Chain A
Amino acid sequence: KNEVEQSPQNLTAQEGEFITINCSYSVGISALHWLQQHPGGGIVSLFMLSSGKKKHGRLIATINIQEKHSSLHITASHPRDSAVYICAARTSGNTPLVFGKGTRLSVIA
């Protein structure tokens, strides 16, 4: 069974700081997802990775398949980035996603 662990659980940052959220998983995967849950509860997908790196605006996601580890970076953080960030892994094909417990980020102006 795949276990997905995120760290830290909670993170407080000052506006403008560079932020890193980590995700590790226990078995080989076919895809790793990063999602964002807004304070109002809505969940949106940010990235899907199977290798390498992806960038969207100030968000960068990387994955190291050999080390079973992924990171989500936020550059020049802003209070509007405050949210819960969730990683989820799929072991193969159409198997269901396994979710981490999330990292709660608060960015203070």
Chain B
Amino acid sequence: DAGITQSPRHKVTETGTPVTLRCHQTENHRYMYWYRQDPGHGLRLIHYSYGVKDTDKGEVSDGYSVSRSKTEDFLLTLESATSSQTSVYFCAISDPLLSNQETQYFGPGTRLLVL
């Protein structure tokens, strides 16, 4: 298994508070992704990074920001959490130059509940 960890694994927070989720990898993969997974929807891309300090928006980026100050860490911040951001958040990594043909490796997920 690819070395990807997410923290925290579970979080309950209140509406309006900022929340930061961390994704950490030990595989030196260039690309990192944040997805959310909700019933009735497929995995939806929030933001992704293609290198240190290089990030881009995904399909559902409103209300989220990201930072990548080093290869191994990709942080997702909910600036002011809302109940609609209750979801399961997955981090993924890939690197077509290092691993098998752009395969994405997923972290274990973070369950976030916003009350």
Q: Which residues of B contact A98 (CB under 8 A)?
A: 42
Q: Identify the interface centre among A31, A43, A86, A98: most chain B CB within 10 Å of its CB.
A: A43
Q: Which residues of B contact A88 (CB under 8 A)?
A: 42-43
Q: A48-B100, A94-B31, A94-B96 are in contact. Are A43 and B106 (CB under 8 A)?
A: yes
Q: Scan B76-115; emit 1 where CB is below 8 A from any A CB, else 0.
A: 0000000000001010100010001111111011000000
The reply on A57 being an interface residue by CB < 8 A is no
Chain A interface size range: 20 to 34
Q: Which residues of A contact B33 (CB under 8 A)?
A: 96
SS of A interface (majority): strand
How far, in angstroms, from A4 to B59 measured CA to CA in the complex? 14
Chain B interface size range: 20 to 34
Flag if A4 contacts B42 (CB, 8 Å): yes
Flag if A99 contacts B42 (CB, 8 Å): yes
Q: Which residues of B contact A31 (CB under 8 A)?
A: 101-102
> Residue of A at shortest CB range from B1?
A44
Q: Scan B27-47; emit 1 where CB is below 8 A from any A CB, else 0.
A: 000010100000011111100
Q: Which residues of B contact A35 (CB under 8 A)?
A: 106
How far, in angstroms, from A96 to B50 measured CA to CA in the complex? 11
Flag if A48 contacts B50 (CB, 8 Å): no
How far, in angstroms, from A48 to B43 measured CA to CA in the complex? 17
How far, in angstroms, from A27 to B33 measured CA to CA in the complex? 23
Flag if B108 contacts A100 (CB, 8 Å): no
B residues whose Cβ falls under 8 Å from a Cβ of A: 31, 33, 40-45, 48, 50, 58, 88, 90, 92, 96, 100-106, 108-109
A residues whose Cβ falls under 8 Å from a Cβ of B: 4, 31, 33, 35, 41-45, 48, 86, 88, 90, 94, 96-102
**Given pairs A44-B106, A99-B43, 8 additional interface contacts (CB within 8 A):** A4-B42, A31-B102, A35-B106, A43-B92, A48-B102, A94-B31, A97-B104, A102-B42
